Amino acid sequence: MPRLAHVLFLLLMLHPLVAVAEPAAAEAGAEKPAAAPADPKAALREAIDKYLDQRWLPEAEATKATDELVAKLEAAGCGIEEVEQMLRAGRVHYGESKTKGKLALVQGLTCDHVDYKPRFFVYVPDSYDPAKPAPLLLIGHGGNGAMDADYAMKASLSGTIPWLQSKVIDEKGFIVAAPLSERGWGAIGNSILLSVISWVQRQMNVDPDRIYVTGHSMGGHLSWRSGIYLGDRWGAVAPMSGGYDYVDDKQVYTLVDVPGYTTFGTKEPYNINDYNKKIRGWMDEHHFGWKLIEKEGGHEIYMDELPKVADFLLAHPRNLYRKRVYGLAGSSVVYNNPEKNEKWGQEHTWNADRPIQRSTFHWLRMVPLAKDTPKEKYPSRVWAENLGENRIQLTSQFARHARLYLHPKMVDFSKPVTVVANGKEVFSGKVTPSLKTMLELVREFDDRGRVFHAAIDVDIPTDADKTPEPQGDA
């Protein structure tokens, strides 16, 4: 019996709850689309679906596709609010899952950004209804950055099965996606996560504002870093027995943008409990919306905490229009070059036209610093606050440009908007909503919930005397 099959056999014998299927990636998870009720806007929604499915067109072709879709929507009399509703309604067609109640192994997925083909587990609860958007939980496994297939399979199942055994997945209606990474959770790992999300949300009706990430050990490190660098993709994150000292290097600052629930033991290796307690003290002092729970025990998944984690996650849908966000940028604001590891036995190729953006922090988009920026002016930081009454305040150091995305939940587009940076007015005037701006952003991030009606670019000529440490609302 091959090693991989042997590992699967043993695991399934130990966990009869789980039945592993191996559908082809092109058709896994969905049967022939179920007949949808009559929708007078179905043709327009299908045009939006096609537009988003072709998100990797070359720039000139992408611009043409956007202009054609805008013209079609405007000719049909669709205003920007109606197009927002169509985006948030999801795809016109979703199929019924073939593998409800079973853990299905999907093979052959090609990462969107790098030449790596991961496998991943998908679990669809029996309660899933294609007509209703469901929450999605991504589970990152433990291990190391250079594992073989057997090790990755075992690690993924050991981190996923406790969630299934706890019953909270079925009770709360989560779709689960658990990627297998033999390359760790660095730049390639980020591509795996985002590529899996893109695949799952085309097969099943996923609520874009209820996507969460968790993981244990190395998966706990992943969850922390996902909150730090990709926080505007998640409703909340739930690291387990992971993390480093994010206080001294100030990476903890951006975690004000995303809520989190962390568990760790009193007897963790690698100083994990010390780091988590240090972060907890700092977060408590700064009123972050986080829970950091220390348990009596070691490096493990604490089953009694899983229902609490699930409740916390669902209580925190993503809010892209929050009052305050914190952003930082260095000389690059993208992932476009995967790490090298001699144990991989190959060097991967990154698609230069498909970088992963880490420039955005909800409605704030940062601009990279010049390559020759001296170390004492690195990184740039912006503390952005929506003060209400169409006034936005930026307090920053070393940032010279920024883009602000706007939505009716943030400002009144019938009145002028004022932006003040470090005490000086840098913008004042009315902002015109743009259907093209809205569609291009949704398409860029493949995120139907990343809806903003307009954007303004501002220059920041000065620095604040001091950038304040972010304060949460907790």
Indicate whether 163 belongs to any domain.
yes
Residue 474 pLDDT: 67
For the whole prediction, is pTM greater than 0.85? Answer: yes
Do the Cβ atoms of 282 and 292 come closer than 8 Å?
no
Residue that is last in its domain, among 260, 294, 314: 314
d(CA 392, CA 385): 6
Residue 473 pLDDT: 85
Listing DSSP states for 132-167 in one string gives: S-EEEEEEE--S-SS--HHHHHHHHHHHHHHHHHTS
Residues 158 and 212 in one domain: yes
Residues 411 and 277 in one domain: no
Indicate whether 84 belongs to any domain.
no
The residue with tokens 């170390």 is 375
Provide the β-strand partners of residue 361: 364
Residue that is last in its domain, among 283, 314, 345: 314
Residues 332 and 301 in one domain: no
Closest C-alpha to 466, from 403, 404, 383, 384: 383
Listing DSSP states for 85-114 in one string gives: HHHHT--S--PPPSSBTSEEEEB-PPPSSB
Residues 140 and 270 in one domain: yes
Indicate whether 246 belongs to any domain.
yes
Contacts of 467 (CB under 8 A, 6+ apart): 381, 382, 383, 395, 396, 397
Residues 278 and 350 in one domain: no
Beta pairing, strands 290-295 & 260-265: parallel
Packing angle, helices 59-75 and 435-445, rounded to 10: 130
d(CA 239, CA 313): 12
Give the tokens for residue 109: 């997925």
Give the tokens for residue 218: 């190395």
Residues 227 and 372 in one domain: no
Indicate whether 79 belongs to any domain.
no
Residue 37 pLDDT: 53
Indicate whether 177 belongs to any domain.
yes
- Mean pLDDT over all residues of the chain? 92
Residues 310 and 357 in one domain: no
CA distances from 233 to 214, 257, 318, 391, 442 (A): 13, 11, 8, 25, 12
| pLDDT band, residue 35 (cuts 50/70/90) | very low
Residue 95 pLDDT: 86
The pLDDT tens digits of the residues spanning 140-189 come to: 999 999 999 999 999 999 999 999 999 999 999 999 999 999 999 999 99
Closest C-alpha to 392, from 359, 417, 413, 366: 417
Give the helix/strand (H/E) hosting 72. helix 59-75
CATH of the domain at 181: 3.40.50.1820
Residues 247 and 271 in one domain: yes
Across the beta sheet with 324-329, what order do the strands follow? 324-329, 380-388, 391-397, 417-421, 424-429
Beta pairing, strands 401-406 & 454-459: antiparallel
d(CA 441, CA 423): 30
Across the beta sheet with 364-366, what order do the strands follow? 360-361, 364-366, 401-406, 454-459
Structural domain harbouring 152: 3-30+94-314
The pLDDT tens digits of the residues spanning 192-226 come to: 999 999 999 999 999 999 999 999 999 999 999 99
Indicate whether 471 belongs to any domain.
no
CA distances from 356 to 272, 317, 366, 445 (A): 28, 23, 14, 9
DSSP 115: S
Q: How far apart are the first and last CA of the chain?
A: 54
Sign of the CA dihedral running 180, 183, 189, 191: negative
Residue that is last in its domain, among 294, 314, 334: 314
Indicate whether 76 belongs to any domain.
no
The pLDDT tens digits of the residues spanning 5-31 come to: 444 434 443 444 555 555 444 444 444
What's the number of domains the chain is made of? 2
